[in-house]
Amino acid sequence: MEDPGLKRLFERNRAWAKSMTDRDPDFFTRLVRQQTPDYLWVGCSDARVPANELMGMAPGELFVHRNIANLVHNIDINLMSVLEFAINVLKVRHVIVCGHYGCGGVRAAIERQEYGLIDNWLRKIKDVYAANREALDSEPDPEERLNLLCEINVRQQVLNICHTSIVQNAWREGRELAVHGWIYSLADGLLKDLGFTIENAQSLEPIYHLPGVTREIGF
């Protein structure tokens, strides 16, 4: 028996496609030819954070990777493949790591409850908490503490991206590439720039430098 909810999804798809061609008859023709985004978005899987929509971007303008709690694991072949394709093939100039306040993944990481397989994925957030325990524990309000951790987590994931050979090789080649840390508020739909942008390897601790990325490694 066909689920009427699924049928409605196809009806909405047809309505959306028609609305796009009504506004711009050549929209899909152009879209088929190529995608040339300047931006890679690394965000949370949360269904309330639609990357294209919240920035008012059309399909083809933003390359997107999403996972629970917008984490960057260097052994995550999915994310690493997306990062390499975005930088080396699409030639994006900006990588945006965007978390969001009230993130359920961040909350699950610090609640000290067992959820299953996801506990292994979220363990990296526990590491972030442990490394910033003094600042986090000094915040008495639990929700404010959660949101502070959401911000700190974004900054750490920016660093994790910058530590990859993919990004550092782009810098070594003299490519224009910046990695930004942003956060999104579900309460008002607004993005916030955390003021954490890295544009070269010199901004990283020397231990993370690949040979040849900077003139002086520090050893």
Give the catalytic positions in this structure: 44, 46, 48, 100, 103
Biggest CA–CA distance in the chain, Å, is 68
CB atoms within 10 A of CB 148: 17
Q: Which residues contact 109 (CB under 8 A, 6 or more apart)?
A: 69, 122, 123, 125, 126, 129
Q: CA-CA-CA-CA torsion for 131, 137, 139, 144, nearest 10 degrees?
A: 70
